[in-house]
Chains A and B, each alone.
Chain A
Amino acid sequence: MGSRTKMILGRVAQAIPVIIGVVVISFLLTRALPGDPAAYFAGPAADEESIAQIRESLGLNKPLIQQFFYYAGDLVQGDLGTSLTTGQTVMSDLAARLPASLELTLVALILSCATAIPLGVLAATRQGSWIDHLCRILVTAGVSMPTFFTGIVLIYLFYYLAGLAPSPLGRLDFIYLSPPHVTGFYLIDAAIAGDGETWFGALKQLILPATTLALFTLAPIARMTRAAMLTALSSNFIRTARAAGLSRGKVLYGYAFRNALLPVVTTLGMVFSFTLGANVLVEKVFAWPGIGSYAVEALVVSDYAAVQGFVLAMALLFVALNLIIDISYALIDPRIGLQ
């Protein structure tokens, strides 16, 4: 187990240069602009004086390298600047809105994994059957659906026509009070408070946007599961297992599925990338008060500090998710870190 721990620490260490790279790129994106960054940061309504003030406070009159260290120093202290629209620090804005985005993303991912993995396994074990063809059509259609469009269609069908879903505005209908803040996840907070009605209200709001997002991520997971399962099933060791008379269940799940899981876990990284990106669009469609819609609002009014904070937050979140994926991969696959 010692080498395993060492390997995990190694993985964590490998994330450090990536984080530095992320910080450098986010710095370059905002400082190496063609125009005057100070004017951008001050916003369209600023006068000469406030621009000069911004320039001073951002250190924009210093050399680029020095600016970077100012920037990095601020970051370490958690200072991402102040949002022009809300007047709050970007850090506190993001912290307040992050749970909403995370709740949406995680529910969507659970939903899509729970559907896609069994679907992919079924398609692979019944290759050429109707379920295989259904899987293929669903998968190709799924990746072709722009999330913002799926969202709108779902709203039209379930809100306007069927009247089943609540109005697509935010995390809770105005008749409910948001549950006392513990984790920021309404489903969890309401459950902690024992407030069944609010829990159900939050779930109703969540179902359409989560489905929208899940439909989009379903495709790559199902596709990968099917392919990985087919590869595993045609491996030599499956023939050995069959020749030894092992039961069908043992061969399929004990031998093939566990091996097929490895490439699926690797794909999850890419899926997270898509999900976090699509999240922005879904939040806009459903007026979901997460960091995605925050960024969209900030973009419209050229609130650069907010946009920069958002990009950085998303990247760090993604790095963390990838780290978790890598570590769980290493835990499933004995070959990693022991060779």
Chain B
Amino acid sequence: MLFVNDLSVAFKTRKGEVNAVRGISLRVDKGETLGIVGESGSGKSVTSYALMRILDAGGEIRTGEMTYSGIDLRAAAESEMRDVRGREISMIFQNPRAALNPIRKVGHQIEDVLVRHAQATRQDAREKAIAALEAVKIHDAAGRYDAYPFELSGGMCQRIVIAIALACEPQLLIADEPTTGLDITTQKAVLDLVGDLVKERGMSMILITHDLGLASQYCDRIVVMKDGLIVEEGSAERLFTAPEHSYTKKLVDATPRIGTSIRKLLPPENRAEEPELEVHDETLLDVCNLVKTYAGKSGPVHAVKGISFDIKRGQSLGLVGESGSGKSTTSEMIVRLQDPTSGNIVFEGEDIAATSSAGFMRHPNRRDIQMVFQDATDSLNPRDTAYSAIAEPLVRIGKMRGSDLTARVSELARLVGLPQSLLSRFPHQLSGGQKARVGIARAVALEPKLLILDEPTAALDVSIQAIVLNLLVDLRAQMGMSYLFVSHDLNVVRLLCDEVLVMKQGEIVDRGPTTKVMNSPSHPYTRALIEAAPQPPEIERLGL
């Protein structure tokens, strides 16, 4: 149905021309779902924009043919393209809230499309828009018709975007990272919905994602893209069991899933011995009845509702939950950036919650509790070099000076695998993985006893994530640190943590040794989370 041959796209930028897509060929058959998988910068999204001819300013299709059901998409006039878009080929995007016009009622936004493609008249537009809302399983569709995007949740917004895309019953749907930024259970609900609708209507779909596991679950066939080229193509099963291209192998290895181990995330040639990890039977941190209540606009918000747990010396504890579960608030209270409303945080026998967060910088335990932040870019001052970022805790708390300082900073750089030459660089001159290393070096600079990791790899590509996770395991073994690992990704927690806590709406609903919680969850919410996590085919065959 769709043929693309030798497509290349270039962008004009200030630094000259960038070839985003460099001659790719692919096809989509009727009723088929094709996955395009690649890491950031692979050109996967640009490909889809080129197909729709909605490239951003400066982007241009250089070579290639694109045909859809006999229509030459490259040669078609803009007015023809406008008839194709929405009517024949539709698209859904990441960040659904931003993808909707913020000041127009969602019902009207659906009507706009219906009226444009002559699928509805002014008289029956409302009725048909409500039918479109019902088609994407929105309850009380007539009531939602008058809602504005800001009144709806992210998952609900994505359903509206899907309703707009499918309103005129197109034959091909392009889904560009449709669930990035959504919670894992919402992700499953949205993708299941799209999958069902596509099957029901006999449509074809292109699913663009960075997550190989996700693609394998929903796609009949997958192409893997890297640097604007297609490196491999095949069924999901084939890609996982017998990847041919070295990049696909690396990607398959790096995708966390059941049955893998931390070292197996790395390419075979880089796999070292797994380090010995020692967990002492001595309580390092004891959290008791921790409560955090904010004053919200409509009454108090109970972010954390009296939770208790402890961390042993040398232990790695996972804290899992979706957005709004209170897991970030909990970690900020423990690292003493926020004050709890009530409760105790007992660290090595002393209640550190008694010292206010503003005064904690002079507390002797400041050096013992450190944190690696979620967004490495945001956590580095754009005006400071990597050197100053790593040196800051050493200077302020460690009171180091002169050559001692220089020596310690380069030792830390070596420890986290950051080349010495990069120390003089500014954050914008470093890659995502390098910035993550700087953030980790700074956090471990004073050899803390407890390190809080707040989704440290959430913003990273899987191949970089694999390296950073391995680094974290090595550091834990070398320094004997305890970890509190905050994450929404169960597959990562499974690899890194001895025990796990599951949080939901400010409460701990499930806890226990990781393998036990993962294999026989006692709470229905834990079960829902595990079921929602994408599982590549290999594992299913291995059998649970």
Task: Consider the complex of A and B and state whether they touch directly, i.e. have CB atoms less than 8 Å apart.
Answer: yes
CB <8 Å contact, A245 and B116: yes
- Is the CB–CB distance between B103 and A243 below 8 Å? no
Interface residue count on the B side (C-beta < 8 Å): 33
Proximity bits, A228-240, B CB within 8 Å = 1, else 0: 0000001111011
> Are B117 and A335 within 8 A (Cβ)?
no
Q: A235-B98, A250-B116 are in contact. Are A244 and B86 (CB under 8 A)?
A: yes
Which of B95, B103, B150, B165 meets A339, CB within 8 Å?
Answer: B150
* Interface pick from A1-9, A57-65, A199-207, A251-259: A251-259
Q: Which stretch of B77-85, B123-131, B287-295, B346-354 is in the interface?
A: B77-85
Which residues from chain B contact A235 at a C-beta distance below 8 Å?
98
* A244 CB to nearest B CB, Å: 4
User: Is A333 on the interface with B (CB-CB < 8 A)?
Assistant: yes
| A234: B residues at CB distance < 8 A | 56
| A244:B116 contact, CB within 8 angstroms | yes
CA gap between A127 and B58 in the complex, in Å: 12
| A259 → chain B closest CB, angstroms | 6
A242-B151 contact, Cβ under 8 Å, with A237-B101, A255-B101: no
Q: Known: A127-B57, A245-B86. Is A334-B103 also a contact (CB below 8 A)?
A: yes
- Nearest B residue (CB) for A128: B57
Q: Is A247 an interface residue (CB 8 A)?
A: yes
Q: Given A127-B57, A237-B99 in contact, is the A243-B116 Cβ separation under 8 Å?
A: no
Most chain A Cβ neighbours within 10 Å, of B95, B100, B113, B151: B113
Give the size range of A's interface with the partner. Answer: 20 to 34
Per the 8 Å Cβ criterion, residues 403-436 of B in contact with A are: none
A241 contacts the other chain (CB 8 A): yes
* Cβ contacts under 8 Å, B84 to chain A: 245
* Nearest CB in chain B to that of A334: its residue: B148
- Say if the beta carbon of A45 comes within 8 Å of chain B: no
Q: Does A317 contact B (CB under 8 A)?
A: no
Task: State in angstroms the CA–CA spacing of A63 and B1 once bound together.
Answer: 89
Check A240–B100 contact: CB distance below 8 A. yes
Chain A CB count within 10 A is highest, among B52, B81, B104, B148, for B104
A338 surroundings in chain B (CB, below 8 A)? 148, 151
- For residue B380, CB closer than 8 A to chain A, the reply is no
Give the shortest distance, in Å, between B92 (CB) and chain A (any CB): 8
A301 contacts the other chain (Cβ, under 8 Å)?
no
Give the residues in chain A near B98, CB-CB below 8 Å.
Answer: 235-237
Q: B86 touches which one: A246, A255, A335, A339 (CB < 8 A)?
A: A246
**Quick one: CB contact mask for B149-164 with A, threshold 8 Å, 1 for yes?**
0110000000001001
| Distance, CA A262 to CA B91, complexed state (A) | 28
Nearest chain B CB to A254 CB, angstrom units: 7
For the complex of A and B, 10 pairs with smallest distance between CB atoms:
A245-B86, A245-B85, A244-B86, A236-B98, A243-B91, A240-B99, A244-B113, A237-B101, A236-B99, A245-B82
14 contacts between A and B (CB under 8 A): A235-B98, A236-B98, A237-B100, A239-B54, A241-B112, A243-B85, A243-B86, A243-B165, A245-B83, A245-B87, A245-B117, A246-B82, A247-B116, A248-B82
17 more A-B residue pairs beyond the given contacts A246-B82, A246-B113, with a C-beta to C-beta distance below 8 A: A237-B98, A237-B101, A240-B99, A242-B52, A242-B54, A244-B112, A244-B165, A246-B86, A246-B112, A250-B112, A332-B103, A333-B103, A334-B148, A334-B150, A335-B102, A335-B148, A338-B151
